[in-house]
Structure 1
């Protein structure tokens, strides 16, 4: 490949060499090309010593756009990221330092990153990317094999179904032939009986006429003797069974027609569908610092999106008497786990509405949230306890005592979650069970009411206060960002993020679902009673599956809506 040449910036602009092809390297921080001599001079300055110098021969394959993006402050695109906060796992500029991180434990980015290329995390990331690469190769091979397999399976299924069709057609054709055979046999028998009956009828008519004539013209002796003769003929016919006396009739019917009808009904239910099989692959987990190097998706308005009903799941028809489901959470694999409060149990559904499990728990739960694909957390108010659950076994693997009536709970990050304490505000807890932080928000202290929670991608917490018809938004330091109230939202209950830092809220008394923007200035009713919403409580939205699960109809129904 031909290499594009650039002039050395200091030489060309300093009035020295006018050659445009003498650039040897590029300084990423200075955004300037350097010749060999200027590169050596550049490296001698202490403040420039650690700049990133990229040889021009590698510049075409170097991800300069990515590096430039990560160097910029996330909140101020014109400023460079110079500081790093270990608590928020975020790099930022001096403006952010003064506005947001003055009370945080921050360091200069150059101090934090020093020696990173020799660190264990760097080597681990290299290994993880190598593992990911192997996993990707495995996936590619698997999909290629799957493509070949599905072509073979298609041929096999067509051959097998054609064989069934051939066998069924052959059997049905044989039945049609049997109809003709049975018909001919019965027809011949009926004709024979009919002919015999006509002969018998003719004989009876003659005997009757003879008896009338003898009685009219002959003596009693002759009449008596003729009667005896007729009786003798009757006895002889009865003994020899030459007279047709049966009054039954013959009909043609298919013996086993109900089995055929049942077979046809079952055939109508047969469908050709893809069967998804989970094949485990090696995956990697990025640390919070690595995750924050990826820019957050810009906030977009959801007011143009439409939620449409997929399914109403009647819980009572699933075998749960007088159910009361109050909260739910969705996993990326499609399972939905709901809290059934009346019978103190957890219900696991598929998005198609099938009830997979009904698991008894020790105490009444009030809130539930998925942390990852294998772990979820729930609050048990009767025990003032938070339980960390394993999804596969549906059993508690860790308990955390709150020492306060707890209610709402929400995922805060990959490693922690936030819990609403009825009289103590909010508490941040790690998945290891460590209590990491208290949000001392005066608006939440001593409320003595149930709090429903959710958190967004920016670690902003949203609180639903049913008794006050209010939604509060709180930042990572516990400061109130906004307070939201509306005539369209009475007795708000469940909250969930929309995947773009905004939220959905369920209105228990207003029978609706409201969308509220991240700054609390915009709102829109996206679902109401016309869409089947009645006294909704807990809700959860998954932006990957694009489904919204609603604990509906005062807890007797689970409703699933999809985004269009």
Structure 2
């Protein structure tokens, strides 16, 4: 921003130094208090607009650097070349002699700051900031989710490790018990044999004693008989010992454990616990994109002449629906219709073929696109219709049901808020973040009222008195249009980039466009164009298309030229 003191340009030429108090953009110079007074009285400059210098220096450097005089010819820019998208002075015309789109620059800049294009760019800047914030929040959430996922994986690994340990502990206990059982069984056999050998050993000691005494003290006859008896005993014991060896009772017992081959393969093949994978899926954020392209077009071209608005039929969509109460364009050219008596929403492809039907929603009336691949659907004007549904188009399901305190019909969307008509009780606005509700007007509404929003104004229809009314956000009435010879039983309503209001007349079987000030109107479509009880309308400000639908059956898509 500018920070240096700006001197009076007129006084500077007189070698006098005085600070400027105002800035004239027409003259491109600052003026002191004395020169300002003369400037405001002079016939040549009295119509020039000036701004206090304190406000002028607050302008960004990019604005202050905008040249109003041609740097080549040092003359003021008076023309604008649409072909080259640049301002021109009168002498520049020679270099643009082949350009057919030279226009008086005053026609281009008139009321530019109050134009729809200026407002749309302002909104677009706000949306870009919102998009940055949404992406930032999304990335922060992703960062947090990665940390949570890591913790979950760690717990998963620990649980798996615990299961492995528990299984190994169980198998270890089983093999240990089995080893002990085998040891006890084999040890018992050996101990039984040892006990038998001990008994035999005692008997041998006894026979050895007997034999020694016989040898010393018995007669020959006695010795002979004892010898035969001992010989028989020894033969039996020898057979006993041979039987032990023969029947493998004396075999050497050894206990070993052969580890299951699956464990060996497990330890040999297990190189790592697992792989860490990174799954990258497309971001589910839908970048909000208001009407930047259209706004740029409007800056480069003057506002469309109200009297020249023309509709060119592009497509007729045949539906099997009845009692259609709402319609809306989706990004990419898809179209949505809401059916009141079937309580369903049908989505059609750009070529007019049906893509899918959303059912099990609840009561369905009007529908509006709210970004993030989502729709908001009102539930109607009967007493039990006190819900608004938020539907995810991709998931094809209701992701949120908002309970409100009143029946609701027509709906519009504005910067995260829904504006809806309340039967008999005005227009309300609900914040989709905290669900807080604001009363915008308490004017009595019909049970089939519709609403549209443009800039700082709202537009609503009233079928009972055949009127269209424009109000501001404080409920102040800006204008009311009512002419039964032109428009009867008005229902659906929408607004284009220039603030022109498009209304369907259910009773007059037509579409009427009303100028932004409510003073002028034109009939664009009639029964001769196929309208038979039209109920809803939507203007696509990005692509300049108009969608009109009859209450039964047909939808019409027009290019607005």
TM-score (norm 2): 0.49
Structure number with bigger Rg: 2
